[in-house]
A = this chain, B = another copy of it.
């Protein structure tokens, strides 16, 4: 029999809420290894003696730690990566199970005193992912030049297990050449930046000579949390389209514009208004409440609520986005 290795299982939660047009995550600020304050995800141990399943354990520690009650919860991925988690010589090795959780933001109620918990816009960590105003300037100013240099230095290099070389991965992930931008490839993009040594985390993990000058590409996070966040955003952007999860982020009643803005906040791009509205009610996703909202500078909007029955009628219902604009 093999010797049993003692492993602690950590749970990490990407807790998402949308505040107006800003998607936010619940972040915890703590001193990093170098003394600086860095944000991280809420983290808790899994104790199988107290909790029957991982998800129950997650809900419990999140409630204790943040005071939030979670709605939709979904497992993302399990990392056993010692290389990124801990430095050589650490006593115990952590496997961490990442979760995505959706909530409604409670006004005022921010930090549950003491803990550095706060809501932070997720585009702080991924400024290149928000195409709502314009194509983010950071892409052409900093990211693409640096990635192109990295790619042309060795266009065909591929780490073990990867089918494609640097040049092709760059093309697909960042939509250069004839390839269109795909908002779901958040993780691919982050991984490329990490491998190219362009994010602070790569430097911290010793993949880039310390002290090398880096452009500032988004706020860093502790450990591999930014990677987990990228996974969460990818998953949410994709799930949006085939399951009615947006409604977990909205109040019980909302206008179609609020619904659209929430979708756009997550997707990081605008969608075509008229078609969006048609798809939403052709899909039977919402029903009018009969009331109208106070006008916010124009004609008052009808209020809607989520039609729970779609879950029964059209099993694969979601907000298909259609093309850009």
Total residues of chain A contacting the partner, CB 8 A: 42
- Does chain B have a CB within 8 A of A118? no
A110 within 8 A of B: no
Within 8 A of B (CB), among A1-52: 2, 4-9, 45-49, 51-52
Partner of A52, one of B57, B82, B172: B82
Q: Is A156 an interface residue (CB 8 A)?
A: no
The 7 closest A-B pairs by CB, nearest first: A54-B80, A48-B93, A78-B78, A6-B6, A48-B82, A53-B81, A172-B315
A171 at the interface (CB under 8 A from B): yes
Tell me whether A80 and B8 are in contact (CB under 8 A): no
Chain B residues closer than 8 Å to A9, beta-carbon distance: 7, 9, 80, 95
Chain B CB within 8 A of A163 CB:
yes
Q: Which A positions have Cβ atoms within 8 angstroms of B?
A: 2, 4-9, 45-49, 51-55, 57, 75, 77-83, 92-93, 95, 97, 161, 163-164, 168, 171-172, 179, 182, 308, 311-312, 315
Number of copies of chain A assembled together: 2
Closest to A3 in B: B47
Subset of 14 A-B contacts with CB under 8 Å: A4-B8, A5-B45, A7-B8, A7-B46, A9-B80, A9-B95, A48-B82, A54-B78, A54-B79, A57-B80, A95-B97, A163-B311, A168-B311, A172-B315
A4 to B2, Cβ gap below 8 A?
no
Given A4-B92, A9-B95, A48-B93, 8 extra CB contacts under 8 A: A5-B45, A7-B9, A9-B9, A46-B95, A53-B83, A54-B79, A95-B95, A172-B312
